[in-house]
Amino acid sequence: MLMPGTMSDRDTLTETRRGGGHSQPAHSPVSFFRCRLCWRITIIVFLSILTIEALILVPSYFKRQQELLDGLAVSGLTALTLAIHEHGHAGDGAGFSFDEQSFGTQEFNLPWPLVGMHLYSSSGALLGTFGEPPDHDFEAARVGTGILARGTDASRYEVFWTSVDSNAPLAAVARLDSSHIATELRGFVWRISGLVVLISLFVCGATMMALTLIVLKPILDLRSLMLFTKERPETAGRIARKRRGWDEMGDITDAYGDLVLRLTKQYRSTLHEREQRFEDFAQAASDWFWEMDENLRFSYFSKRFAQVTGVPNHQLLGKTREETGIPDVDPEHWRKYLGDLSAHRSFRGFTHPRTMPDGTVVWLSISGKPYFDPEGNFKGYRGIGQDITRLKRFEEELRQSRDKAEQANRAKSAFLANMSHELRTPLNAVIGFSEVIESELFGPTGSPKYVGYAKDIRTSGQHLLELINDILDLSKIESGADTLIEKTISIPRLLMEVEVLVQADVHKARVSLSYRIQGDLPEIRADRRKLMQVVTNLLINAIKFTPADGEVSIEAECDPGAGHVIKITDTGIGMAPEDIPIALAPFQQVDNGLNRKYEGTGLGLPLVKAMIEMHGGTLELLSERGGGTTVVVRFPAERVVLSAPGISALARHGGQAG
């Protein structure tokens, strides 16, 4: 089946086959020599033949060499036998005899290939040396027979023969002339190599012809079609052609032609779908489109532009932004917008108001991207515009709500901070009068129950006072009314004071309290009251949640480059890692069923955290349910005082309390 195509398509395909202007038939020798695949196949065939012939040649070479050496040894043995018999005489029954004493004084003519030898009697006595002396003697040669050694120039070989080999009561170590063997082997190699080259060239030539006639032409046709499909996929289907499927290459070409037809249809369908999809996305993501030419003059507006902005298209078309202007635009944003246009930069979210003909103000957001031709020349802008009036209104409402919330929070904090005196003064009076009644300072109360009631009033008042103090302290920190009164503090001495404060809690809870303080711990610059409150709250918290016979430990160390670190560890009930953020939030308590028996308002840890952060430090909680808790307090390095190291009094006193 032939697909009709235009002349331009055919011409383009012809140019693709030519590969740069050299028109050649697909089956010509020139086409073959330009075919990379054909060259690879031919080289592989050539190397395969050479490899096979080499595998055959190497053993043939050594076999031929051995044959020549064996023939040389036979010739040498024959020459030696004749020479010995020339110097001997017939005997009775033995067939051969000679005089060993006079044998060595006789002249001994060495026929080829003998060039020298040692002649020995059957007992191993040397009878004489003739010609070139061999390197081996009777004792060295007796270990074997055959070729004993070869000269460095491969022209001499030495052979050992016994009396059995020489058919005489003599043994010999002979040196043979083998110079002709190397010549014959070279001739053998050249003959075989020439034959291999001829066979290789013949097979390669046959391969070239087969590739050209059977493989190359359909491959080149298929390659041309593929290249054309790559360059012009939208029209490649019109030149897809089918060959007769009389072999595998024909089947491949037929299958590729069908594939090109299907892909061309799919390509056109996908292209149309993508264009429609892009248009749908663009319309959904924006309200209108606009374009500028290379002179930054408006050249296009989509239909909804006038509807959204209230400005007719013809009022802006053909004009630049400087010529049209924008009323009520922010001057800084306007200058940046014009700078982006002049520099041909992309921009997003250029926001400005626009007053509609009916007086309604709308907010518009403009984004644009420059586009260039293939040579990099600026051709204009393409962009979108959006009506963001609703978003602007929402942002304004959100800002007003945030301002109101911040104002209310500041008012709350200011109120609580200002109420410090009003709340504490009457509460202190209640606590004081209850202590007077409890101690019966002015005489008996008349009934023991009154003393108990007074004690309950004092205890409840003190608890309420602690709660009010925590709330007021946290409110002062949040409102920014609290400040640090910094002094140089010895941490070991401060811990000794804290120990005195918590001794009653330690004995009541029946837990052990241990210390590990760095021996040369430097002093720290901090607010003494707040630092003592931090350590006391953390220790009381650890003691409160640690069961009887449990352990609470406090560690203090300092790296001058990193700052002080105070670590408090207990073996108490702990908490799950996901509950730690709850424990650090104000007025929140971890609800795990184990801590309901413990009192608390949920302000201790948040207040401690706020005080530590006032010093520029951090608070870290490490805990697991049933596995205890570790609180790590870190202060910054700038609070380290290196001039006066602290006194590790607790460490010197054994570091144990409870």
Sheet containing strand 146-150, strands side by side: 126-131, 114-121, 170-177, 156-161, 146-150
Backbone angles phi, psi at 84, to 5 degrees: -65, -45
Contact 229, 236 (CB under 8 A): yes
- In this prediction, residue 126 carries a pLDDT of 82
Residue with the larger pLDDT of the pair 302 and 593: 302
pLDDT at 2 exceeding the cut of 80: no
Distance CA(598)–CA(293), nearest Å, equals: 76
According to the model, what pLDDT value does residue 93 have?
Answer: 37
N-to-C CA span, the chain: 103
CA angle, 228 then 230 then 236, to 5°: 50
DSSP lists the bridge partners of residue 126 as 120
User: Domain spanning 396-476: which CATH class is it, in words?
Assistant: mainly alpha
490: number of Cβ within 10 Å: 19
Contact in structure between 134 and 124 (CB atoms under 8 Å): no
- Which single residue is written with the structure tokens 């008996």? 444
More confident residue, 83 or 602: 83
Chain centre distance of CA 500 = 57
Q: How many whole angstroms separate alpha carbon 123 and alpha carbon 399?
A: 127
Domain extents for the chain?
1-34+180-274, 59-177, 283-387, 396-476, 484-657
Per the listing, tokens 């007021």 go with: 472
Mean pLDDT score, 505-512:
91
Q: Which residues of 599-624 are buried (b: 16+ CB within 10 A; e: fewer)?
A: eeebbbbbbbbbbbeebebebebebe
Mean pLDDT, range 434-456, rounded to an integer: 77
Q: Is the pLDDT of residue 11 over 60?
A: no
Q: What is the pLDDT of residue 478?
A: 67
Pairing of strands 288-292, 378-387: antiparallel
Share of the chain above pLDDT 90, in %: 20
Residue 518 tokens, joined? 């760095």
The domains spanning 283-387 and 484-657 adopt the same CATH topology? no
DSSP codes of every residue in 38-59:
HHHHHHHHHHHHHHHHHHHHHH
Alpha-helix residue ranges (DSSP H) falling in 104-178? 138-141, 163-166
Lowest mean pLDDT across 19-23, 189-193, 462-466, 518-522: 19-23
- Gap between the Cα atoms of 170 and 160, Å rounded: 11
| Predicted confidence band of residue 565 (pLDDT cuts 50, 70, 90) | very high
| Most confident option among 40-54, 452-466, 589-603 | 40-54
Q: How is residue 69 written in tokens? A: 């050496």
Contact 365, 378 (CB under 8 A): no
Q: Residue 511 pLDDT more than 90?
A: yes
368: burial class by Cβ within 10 Å (0-12, 13-18, 19+)? buried
Neighbours of 298 (CB within 10 A): 22
User: 354 vs 148, which has greater pLDDT?
Assistant: 354
Measured from the Cβ of residue 96, the count of other Cβ atoms closer than 10 Å reads: 14
- Residues 241-263: pLDDT tens digits? 555 556 666 677 777 777 777 77
Report the C-alpha gap between 164 and 142 in whole angstroms.
13
Statement: residue 152 has pLDDT above 50: no
pLDDT in tens, 261-303: 777 777 777 877 877 776 676 666 667 889 999 999 999 998 8
β partners of residue 384: 289, 367
648 token code pair? 């590790």
What does the pLDDT look like over 100-122, one tens digit per residue? 554 544 556 677 888 888 888 87
Confidence band for 596, pLDDT divided at 50, 70 and 90: very low
Six token digits for residue 347? 């921009």
Q: Among 439-453, 567-581, 643-657, name the most confident range.
A: 567-581
Are 208 and 45 a contacting pair, CB within 8 Å? Answer: no
Burial class (CB in 10 A: 0-12, 13-18, 19+), 536: middle
3-class secondary structure, 233: coil
pLDDT of residue 339: 93
pLDDT at 336 over 60: yes
Q: What is the pLDDT of residue 488?
A: 93
Q: What is the pLDDT at residue 598?
A: 52
pLDDT band for 61, please (50, 70, 90 cuts): confident
Superfamily of domain 484-657: Histidine kinase-like ATPase, C-terminal domain (3.30.565.10)
According to DSSP, the β-strands at 512-517 and 618-623 are: unpaired
pLDDT score, position 241: 53
Q: What mean pLDDT is predicted for residues 329-344?
A: 92
Mean pLDDT of 214-233: 71
Q: Calculate the average pLDDT of the chain.
A: 77
Could you give the CA distance from residue 201 to residue 194 in angstroms, rounded to a whole number? 11
pLDDT for the residue numbered 90? 41
> What whole-number distance in Å separates Cα of residue 597 and Cα of residue 599?
7
Task: Tell me how far CA of residue 196 lies from CA of 55, 201, 477, 589, in angstroms.
Answer: 12, 9, 100, 95
Contacts 24+ apart (CB under 8 A), 575-578: 575/623, 575/624, 575/625, 575/629, 576/623, 576/624, 576/625, 577/623, 577/624
More confident residue, 345 or 60: 345
Token reading at 465: 């006072």
Give the per-residue SS3 of 472-495.
HHHHHHHHCCCCCCEEEECHHHHH
What confidence score (pLDDT) does residue 648 get? 42
Q: Which residue has the higher pLDDT, 319 or 461?
A: 319
Q: Does 455 score more than 70 pLDDT?
A: yes
The most confident of the ranges 108-112, 204-208, 215-219, 364-368 is 364-368
Q: How many CB atoms lie within 10 A of CB 341?
A: 19
Q: How many Å apart are CA 292 and CA 319, to the nearest integer? A: 9
Predicted confidence at residue 92, as pLDDT, reads 40
Which pLDDT belongs to residue 91?
42
Cα R_g (the chain), whole angstroms = 55
**Least confident segment among 277-291, 366-380, 415-429:** 415-429
Please report which helix (H) or strand (E) contains residue 170, including its range.
strand 170-177
Give the model's confidence band at 504: pLDDT under 50 very low, under 70 low, under 90 confident, else very high: confident
Work out the pLDDT band at 19, boundaries 50, 70, 90: very low
Q: In the CATH scheme, what is the homologous superfamily, with its name and number, of domain 283-387? A: PAS domain (3.30.450.20)
Count of all residues that appear for the chain in the document:
658
Please tell me the predicted confidence (pLDDT) of residue 237: 57
DSSP 27: T
